[in-house]
A and B are shown apart, each in its own frame.
Chain A
Amino acid sequence: MSPVQTGAPHAEEAPSPTRSLRWRAIAAPVLRNKSAMVAVGILAVFVFLAIFSPLIVGDDPKAKVGPVFAPPSKEWPLGTDGGGANMLDLLIAGARISLLIGFCAGAISALIGGTIGIVSGFFGGRTDTALMRLTDYFLVIPDVPLIIVIAALFGRSTWNIIVIIGIIYWTFTARLIRAQTKSVRERVYVQRARALGARNSRLILRHVLPQVTPLLIANTVLLIAYAIFAETFISFLGLGDPTAISWGRLIQNAFTDDAIINEAWWAVIPPGVCVMLVVLACTIIGQTMEDALNPRLRTGHLSVRRFRVLRPSERPTLQPQTPPSQPQPQQPS
C-alpha cells in the first residue's frame, strides 16, 4: 500500500516542516508526465556524453582521420567535417562545452534573478523600486549587441560567455520570483513567524525560500535552454572560444568551410539537432514543472481540463478491502 494518503498529505514532512524544500512537489509532475520523462531521458543521455566525452572520444577529436567532408559510412557514422575530423566525436566533445555553458550560465542567472527577486519582493518599498528599475534596465538591453561588445572587450573565452549569458538572462527570473515572494510574504504563517520574533534572514531562508524554490528550479531548467541556445548563436557569430568545440562552433565551422556548397548536410544538421533536442528537453521539463506549480491549473473551474461524466456502465469498481471491514480499535477519549 502506498504511503500517499488523502488524509495526511504532509505526514512525511512532519518532522521538519520548515525545512521541507518540497522535492516531491518538483519531481512528481515530471515523473507522472510521459513526454517529460522522455525529455529527462534525452537530457540524461546528453549529460552522460558531456561528462564522459574525454573517455569516449579521446584527447583530440579535431584530428584529421579521413578525407574532407566524407559522407556517413561505417567508419564515420556521421561523416567527417571540413577538416576531415570525425563528426560523431566532435558532436560528443561539443556536448561538453555546450552543456557546461548552459548549466553554468543558467545557474548564474538563477542565482542573480533569485536573489534580486526575493530581496525585492520581501523588503518592498524603495529596495523593490530600485531593484526592479535595474531589472527593467537589463530587460531592455538588446542582448546580441551587448554580447558582441563584451566578447570584443574581454576576449573570447568560455568563461566570459558563461558570465555574459548569466548576467543577461536573469531578468525574467527576478520578476517571477519577486511576484511569488510578495505573495508568500503576506501569508499568515510568515506573519506568525514574524510575530514570534523571527528575523528577516530566518523568514527568508526558512519560510520564503522553500516556497519559491520549486518555481526557481522550474525556471532554471528553462534558463538552461535559453543559455544553450545563446551559446550556439554566440559561437556561430564567431564570438566563442576559438579553441573550444561546441555545437554552435561546429555549425560555424561547417558554414565557413562551405559545407552547404559541398552538400555535406551531415556537418550542419547533427549539431543543430543536438541543440534542438536539448533545448526541447529542457523546455518540456521546465514547462511540466511550471504547469504543476501553477495553482491556476489545479482548480477545476480555472483548468482547461474538466471532470469526467461517466455512464453507469463505465463506473469503476474498487478493489475489495481486505480483511472486509476491519474495526479500528480506538477508545473514546
Chain B
Amino acid sequence: MSPPLLEVDDLHVWFDLPNGRKLHAVQGVSFAVDAGTRLGMVGESGCGKTTTILALMGLLPPTASVSGRVLLDGVDVLERGEETIAPHRWKDIAMVFQGAMNAFDPVKRIGDQIVEPMELHGHASGAEAASRVSGLLETVGIAPERAKSYPHELSGGMRQRAAIAMALACSPRVLLADEPTTALDVMVQAQVLELLTYLSNELGLALVFVTHDLPIVAQTCTHAAVMYAGRIVEQGPTEALYHETRHPYTRMLWAATPDLDAHEEVLSIPGVPPRLDAELHGCPFAPRCDLAASRCVSERPELRSVGNGHTSACHFSSSVGAAA
C-alpha cells in the first residue's frame, strides 16, 4: 500500500512567550489526507488549527519550535525546517490564507499577482503563464479578462476566489484553506465551498479545511477532525462524527449549532479552554464537560479507535450519545 499523499505524525508546536515561558500550541496532532479527500478541522479560537497548517507550510514565526513529522508521499519535509519545506511550498502544498481576500497587493493587477508564484517556482512564465492565469480564473469562475483588474475592482467573493486561483497557480496536490469563507455572506460562501469541493473532486486535490463552523464541515468535507486545546479530540469520517458522536466536546459543538428543522434550544458550552503554557494533567476538556468524573481530572485520555476509521479521546466515548 502506498503512503498517503500527506501525513502528519505527532506534530508539536511551541511558542516562546515574552516572559520566557513556552506555550504548547499544538500537542501531538496526527492526520492523513489523500487525493480527493477533504479534511475539515474544527475547533474554537486558539485551539491550534491555524498553527497546525502554518507548520505544514513552514510559515511559523521565528519564536516557534516544531517537532514531529510531515510526510509528503512518505518523505519527511519537516526534517530540516525551511530547507526541506521550501521546495514543496506552493508546488505541492499551497494555501489559501485567513482573510485571503485582503492578501492582495492593492497596486498590482490580479493577473500579475497570480503569475508571481509561477515565476518564482519556475512553473511557467511569459505567455504560458498568462494563459495559465486565464485558465485558473475560469476554473474559479472569474472572467479571464479580469486578470487586468486591480484588487479593489473585485468584490469580496471574487477576491476570495482569485486567492484560490493564486493557490492553484503551481498545480499543488494539497490545498490548505484557513477559514476561506469567514468574511463572506452565505451566498458567496456557498459558491466558494462548491468551488473547493469541485476542485477536490475534479483535480484530485487533497483539501485541509480549517474553520470554526461545524455545519460547513458537514456539508463539504469527507473527513473531520475536532481540535481542542492543541489536540485532536475526535476524528473520523464526517458521517460518523455527525451520527455517532463519540466525544462530549463534539456533541456540545453540535448542540451549539442552530437547526432549522428542530426547534430545540441552541446550547452554549460553559467555561473557557485551558491555558497552554503549563503541562495539563487529565483531560483538557474535563472542567467544561458534563460527563467528567474523577478519572478525567487525573488521567489524560488518548485518541483511541471507536469504529471504522473513527477515533475519540474520551474515557467515556462509548456513553457519549448522538447530537443532542
- Interface residues, chain A, CB within 8 Å of chain B? 2, 4, 6-7, 28, 32, 298-301, 303, 305-312, 314-321, 324-328, 330-333
Cβ proximity bits B235-271 to A, threshold 8 Å, 1 near / 0 not:
0000000000000000000000000000000011111
- Interface residues, chain B, CB within 8 Å of chain A? 12, 14-15, 17-19, 21-24, 46, 58-67, 78-82, 267-272, 274-275, 277-284, 286-288, 297-298
* Complex-state Cα separation, A319 to B278, whole angstroms: 5
Check B297–A325 contact: CB distance below 8 A: yes
CB distance from A309 to the nearest CB of B (A): 4
Check B62–A305 contact: CB distance below 8 A: yes
Supposing A328-B272, A332-B267 touch, asked if A318 and B82 sit within 8 A by C-beta, the answer is no
Q: Which residue of A lies closest to B67 (CB)?
A: A310
Check A306–B62 contact: CB distance below 8 A: yes
Check B23–A6 contact: CB distance below 8 A: yes
Check A325–B61 contact: CB distance below 8 A: no
Check B271–A327 contact: CB distance below 8 A: yes
Check B22–A308 contact: CB distance below 8 A: no
CB distance from B266 to the nearest CB of A (A): 11
Check B81–A308 contact: CB distance below 8 A: yes
Name the A residues within 8 Å of B282 (CB-CB).
324-325
Check B61–A310 contact: CB distance below 8 A: no
Check A307–B17 contact: CB distance below 8 A: no
CB distance from A5 to the nearest CB of B (A): 8
Check B19–A308 contact: CB distance below 8 A: no
Supposing A4-B19, A321-B278, A324-B282 touch, asked if A300 and B59 sit within 8 A by C-beta, the answer is yes
Name the B residues within 8 Å of A307 (CB-CB).
58, 60-66, 81
Selected A-B contacts with CB under 8 Å, 19 pairs: A4-B19, A301-B59, A303-B62, A306-B82, A307-B65, A310-B67, A316-B65, A318-B21, A318-B278, A321-B275, A321-B278, A321-B279, A324-B297, A325-B286, A325-B297, A330-B270, A332-B267, A332-B270, A333-B268
Name the A residues within 8 Å of B62 (CB-CB).
300, 303, 305-307
Known: A300-B62, A307-B81. 18 other contacts (CB 8 A): A2-B21, A28-B18, A300-B59, A303-B61, A306-B82, A307-B58, A307-B60, A307-B64, A309-B80, A310-B67, A311-B67, A312-B67, A318-B24, A321-B279, A324-B281, A324-B298, A327-B288, A332-B269
Supposing A307-B61, A324-B297 touch, asked if A330 and B24 sit within 8 A by C-beta, the answer is no
* Complex-state Cα separation, A325 to B275, whole angstroms: 10
CB distance from A37 to the nearest CB of B (A): 16
Q: Which of B267, B270, B287 contacts A326 (CB 8 A)?
A: B287
Q: Which of A6, A303, A314, A326 contacts B17 (CB 8 A)?
A: A6
Check A300–B66 contact: CB distance below 8 A: no
B15, B267, B270 — most chain A CB neighbours (10 Å): B270
Check B287–A2 contact: CB distance below 8 A: no
CB distance from A333 to the nearest CB of B (A): 7
Q: Which residue of B lies closest to A3 (CB)?
A: B19
Name the B residues within 8 Å of A316 (CB-CB).
14, 22, 65
Check A309–B67 contact: CB distance below 8 A: yes
* Complex-state Cα separation, A305 to B287, whole angstroms: 39
Check A2–B61 contact: CB distance below 8 A: no
* Complex-state Cα separation, A318 to B281, whole angstroms: 12
Name the A residues within 8 Å of B275 (CB-CB).
321
Name the A residues within 8 Å of B269 (CB-CB).
332
Name the A residues within 8 Å of B61 (CB-CB).
298-300, 303, 307
Check B66–A321 contact: CB distance below 8 A: no
Q: Which residue of B lies closest to A332 (CB)?
A: B270
* Complex-state Cα separation, A315 to B26, whole angstroms: 12
* Complex-state Cα separation, A331 to B81, whole angstroms: 44
Q: Which of B63, B80, B280 contacts A321 (CB 8 A)?
A: B280
Name the B residues within 8 Å of A319 (CB-CB).
21, 278-279
What 10 A-B pairs are tightest by C-beta distance, nearest first?
A: A327-B287, A321-B278, A2-B19, A305-B62, A324-B281, A307-B64, A310-B67, A300-B61, A307-B60, A318-B279
Check B24–A332 contact: CB distance below 8 A: no
Q: Which of B58, B270, B298 contacts A331 (CB 8 A)?
A: B270
CB distance from B288 to the nearest CB of A (A): 8
* Complex-state Cα separation, A303 to B62, whole angstroms: 8
Name the A residues within 8 Å of B17 (CB-CB).
4, 6
Name the A residues within 8 Å of B24 (CB-CB).
318
Name the B residues within 8 Å of A330 (CB-CB).
270-272
Name the B residues within 8 Å of A299 (CB-CB).
61
